[in-house]
Structure 1
Amino acid sequence: MSLKIIIVGGHGKVALRLAKLLSSRHEVTSIVRTPEHEADIKAASATPLQLSLEESPLSEFSKAFEAKDVVYFSAGAGGKGGEERTKAVDYEGAVKVFDAIEAVQGKKPRLVLVSAIDIRDPEKIPAHYTEEDIALSKRVRGAIPAYIKWKYEADKNLAKRTTFKWTMLRPGGLTDEPGTGKATIGRTHLSPTIARDDVAAVLALLAEREDAAGLGIDLVGGETPLADALDAAIKKGETDFLG
C-alpha cells in the first residue's frame, strides 16, 4: 500500500537514508530549512518542502501534514547553538509538530519520532541496566546534558498525547558503518552502537506498523534480522520509554 509520508528534519543523515528507502514505494516529502538542501532531497527521490521549526508558524506545519498518512520527526539541533537552540529544536520544535498534527482537520497522520536510548526520568534507573549500562548512561548524560534534558521533555509531552497515534524509536549510539540488516530491538542494554543505515531501515518498516502505536522502542546493534526483531518487540507490546 502506497502511503503519503512527510519527514521533519529531512536533511539529517538518517532522514536522507529513510527518504531513499521509502520513496521506492511511497510518496515522500522532506522538510528542510534552506534551499541549499533541496538538491540532496531530490537525489533521495523525495519532494523538498522549505519550513523552519524555529521560525515557521504552526499553521504551516499543520497544512503540510494534511492528507498525510505518516509524519516522521527526525529533526535535531545536533549540538549546534548551545542549550537555547537545542531547546528550540529538540523540544519546542517537537511540540510544535505534535500540536500541528492535532490541528489537522479530519483524519490525523501517525507520528514516528526519532528519539534516543536512555531518554528517561533521571531519577528512575531501569531495572534491567547493568553496571556497564549505568556507567555509560552517566558518561553520556554528563557529556550532552542539554540534549538529554530536552529530548526527555519532548518525549514526556508526546507520551501524554491521545488524539493521534505515535511511536518513538530510540536508537543507541550511531555510526556511519554499512548497515548489517540486524539489530537488538526492544528493552535492551545501551550498547553496542548501530549503523544509521539500520536505523533508517527500521524507521521505514514502521511506516506500515500501526500496531506499534504507543510504544517507545529501543534499538542497538545485534544479530537478529531487523524485521523479525521489530515484529517481536511490537508483539511484546512493552514500551521502553520509562518516563
Structure 2
Amino acid sequence: MQVVIAGGHGKIALHLERLLTQRGDTAVGLIRNPDHAGDLEAIGAQPVVLDLEHSSVGEVIEAVRGADAVVFAAGAGPGSGAARKETVDRDAAILLADAAQAAGVGRYVMISSMGADAEAPDDTGDPVFVAYLRAKGAADDAVRSRRALSTTIVRPGRLTDDAGTGRVHIADSTGYGAIPREDVAAVLLAVLDTPATGGRTVELVGGDTPIDAAVEAMAG
C-alpha cells in the first residue's frame, strides 16, 4: 500500500510513517520544510517538499498520483492565528481532497478534532480556538461531500506523547479524554486496512479495547 500523508513531519504522521514502512508499505510525507526530509528518510519514508498553503491542485495531484490512500495530518499548530486555521486546517484539507479525487485515489483519512463544527459557538473566550473548531468542521463537511472519496474522519481527544497502550475507545461520541499520539497513529493504520470504515466520523480516546477490535467494531 502507498499512502501519502499531508503534514508528514507531524508527531502523529511520523508514528504512522514508521508503522507503514516497518511492514513494507510505502509512506510518502508531504512537508513544507526541506530540512525535515532527513527525519522522514531515517524511518524509511519518502519526503516530498510541498506547501499545501501555496500549491495548486495540479501540483498536489502529481504528489498523490498512484497512491492507495491519503491522510490529512497537517495543522497550523499552536501559536498560529485564526487566518492560518482557515488556510491550513480548512483549505489545505479540502485541497488534498480535491487532488485525491482528481487523481483517482479514492481513500481519504482525516485527523480532525473533538468539537469540530463549522458553526461552533463563539462562547469559549478564545476566538482562535473557535476559528480552529470551525475550520476543522468545515473541512470535515467538505471532504465528506466528495462522493468519489471513501472518507474516514477520526476526532481524537487531548493528545499526549505518552507511550501507546494499544487500547482505545472509539465511538460516535466518547466523552472527553486523552490519547497518546502513538495510539492515534495505530488507529489510523487499522482504519487504512479496513475499507468498511469509509463514511464514518468517530471520536477517539484512550480505553480498554484493543485497537484492531475497536476498529473492526467501528466498521460494523
Measured in 2, the distance between the counterparts of 1:156 and 1:166 equals 11
User: What secondary structure, in the 3-state scheme, does the structure 2 residue paired with 1:54 have?
Assistant: helix
> Larger Cα Rg: Structure 1 or Structure 2?
1
Kindly report which structure 2 residues correspond to 1:231-242, keeping only aligned pairs within 5 A, or say none.
231-235=216-220
Given that residues 80 and 86 in structure 1 are in contact (C-alpha distance below 8 angstroms), is that contact kept between their aligned partners in structure 2? no
Measured in 2, the distance between the counterparts of 1:100 and 1:18 equals 21
Aligned with 2:145 (options 160, 163, 170): 160
* Residue equivalent to 1:59: 58
AA aligned opposite 1:117: M
Given that residues 117 and 190 in structure 1 are in contact (C-alpha distance below 8 angstroms), is that contact kept between their aligned partners in structure 2? no
TM normalised by structure 2 equals 0.93
Measured in 2, the distance between the counterparts of 1:81 and 1:200 equals 24
1:5 and 2:14 are equivalent in the alignment: no
Return closer, same or farther for 1:140/1:207 CA change in 2, 3 Å cut-off: farther
Kindly report which structure 2 residues correspond to 1:86-235, keeping only aligned pairs within 5 A, or say none.
86-104=85-103, 107-120=104-117, 122=119, 144-235=129-220
Measured in 2, the distance between the counterparts of 1:69 and 1:139 equals 39
Aligned with 1:17 (options 15, 18, 24): 15
Given that residues 178 and 205 in structure 2 are in contact (C-alpha distance below 8 angstroms), is that contact kept between their aligned partners in structure 1? yes
Given that residues 106 and 148 in structure 2 are in contact (C-alpha distance below 8 angstroms), is that contact kept between their aligned partners in structure 1? no
Q: Which runs of 5+ in 1 are unaligned?
A: 125-137, 236-243
User: For each residue in 1:94-136, what CA deviation from the matched residue of structure 2 results, as whole angstroms up to 9, or x when unmatched?
Assistant: 11111111221xx423111111122236579xxxxxxxxxxxx
Return closer, same or farther for 1:65/1:121 CA change in 2, 3 Å cut-off: closer
Given that residues 118 and 190 in structure 1 are in contact (C-alpha distance below 8 angstroms), is that contact kept between their aligned partners in structure 2? no
How many matched pairs? Answer: 218
Given that residues 8 and 73 in structure 1 are in contact (C-alpha distance below 8 angstroms), is that contact kept between their aligned partners in structure 2? yes
| Superposed structure 1 runs of 4+ greater than 4 Å apart | 121-124, 138-143
TM normalised by structure 1 equals 0.84
Return closer, same or farther for 1:123/1:76 CA change in 2, 3 Å cut-off: closer
Return closer, same or farther for 1:97/1:172 CA change in 2, 3 Å cut-off: same
Measured in 1, the distance between the counterparts of 2:174 and 2:18 equals 29
Given that residues 168 and 217 in structure 1 are in contact (C-alpha distance below 8 angstroms), is that contact kept between their aligned partners in structure 2? yes
Measured in 2, the distance between the counterparts of 1:68 and 1:140 equals 42
C-alpha RMSD of the superposition: 1.9
Given that residues 118 and 135 in structure 2 are in contact (C-alpha distance below 8 angstroms), is that contact kept between their aligned partners in structure 1? no
User: For each residue in 1:25-56, what CA deviation from the matched residue of structure 2 results, as whole angstroms up to 9, or x when unmatched?
Assistant: 21111110011110111122101000001112
User: What secondary structure, in the 3-state scheme, does the structure 2 residue paired with 1:28 have?
Assistant: strand
Q: CA deviation at 1:63?
A: 1.0
Return closer, same or farther for 1:102/1:143 CA change in 2, 3 Å cut-off: closer
Measured in 1, the distance between the counterparts of 2:132 and 2:118 equals 14
Q: Which runs of 5+ in 2 are unaligned?
A: none
User: For each residue in 1:125-172, what CA deviation from the matched residue of structure 2 results, as whole angstroms up to 9, or x when unmatched?
Assistant: xxxxxxxxxxxxx75977711110100111111121101211111111
User: What secondary structure, in the 3-state scheme, does the structure 2 residue paired with 1:19 have?
Assistant: helix
* Identical amino acids, percent of aligned pairs: 35
